[in-house]
Amino acid sequence: MTALGERAVVDRAASRQRDRQVARLFDDSYRSLRGLAFVMLGDASAAEEVVMEAFEKAFSGWNRFRSLEHPHAYLRQIVVNLCRSRFRRQKVEGRVNALVHRGERAPAPPDHESRLDLWAAVRELPERQRACVVLRYLEDMQEQEVADVLDCSVGTVKSQLFKARAKLERALGEGAMRGEK
């Protein structure tokens, strides 16, 4: 067998091994990442798009990615960043639409009483507070882990969680935050 033929055999074997590793990571991570994105975005199809985009980003640099110690944590960080990018893009689109349709009246927001669901209230939080709440309480991460994912200090995470809890308490009422009806 020639050197070129041997290289092709090695490349095919490495490709099969990579495909198995990718499939295993996808099977292990997809569901939780989709849940994370859904809670942050409030839209199932957008959540799926974000997760698939995260896998695409991760695997486009597979050689660098496979050497990571915690690939699931890295994927989670990509998902959070992609969700935050969508928030920013939606804000810009909202401002542009408001300028374009300046003379038209915007539809009235839905009655807040009909949205006293906790996750609906969480989706109303500013993006950084929302990310902190979702990572801390849904993903059950410690404050240091949240800080690592969001690339900020633990103090920032604590501050954002405090502000988020205060806003949720106002939105849902004090009793709802303590589990009372």
Token representation of residue 148: 């690592």
Average pLDDT over all residues of the chain: 79
3-state secondary structure of 9: helix
Arithmetic mean of pLDDT, 119-128 = 85
Rounded average pLDDT over 39-56: 91
| Average pLDDT for 37-59 | 90
Whole-prediction pTM value? 0.58
Q: How far is the C-alpha of 5 from the C-alpha of 162, rounded, in Å? A: 62
The more confident residue out of 145 and 172 is: 145
Find out whether 135 and 150 touch, Cβ atoms under 8 Å: yes
pLDDT of residue 103: 53
Q: Given this model, what pLDDT does residue 15 score?
A: 77
pLDDT, mean of residues 56-72:
77
Q: Could you report the per-residue pLDDT of 140-156, keeping only the tens digit for each? A: 889 999 999 999 999 99
Task: Express as a percent the part of the chain with pLDDT over 70.
Answer: 77
162-167 contacts, C-beta under 8 A, 24 or more apart:
163/129, 164/122, 164/125, 164/129, 164/130, 164/132, 164/133, 167/124, 167/125, 167/129
Residue 102: predicted pLDDT:
64
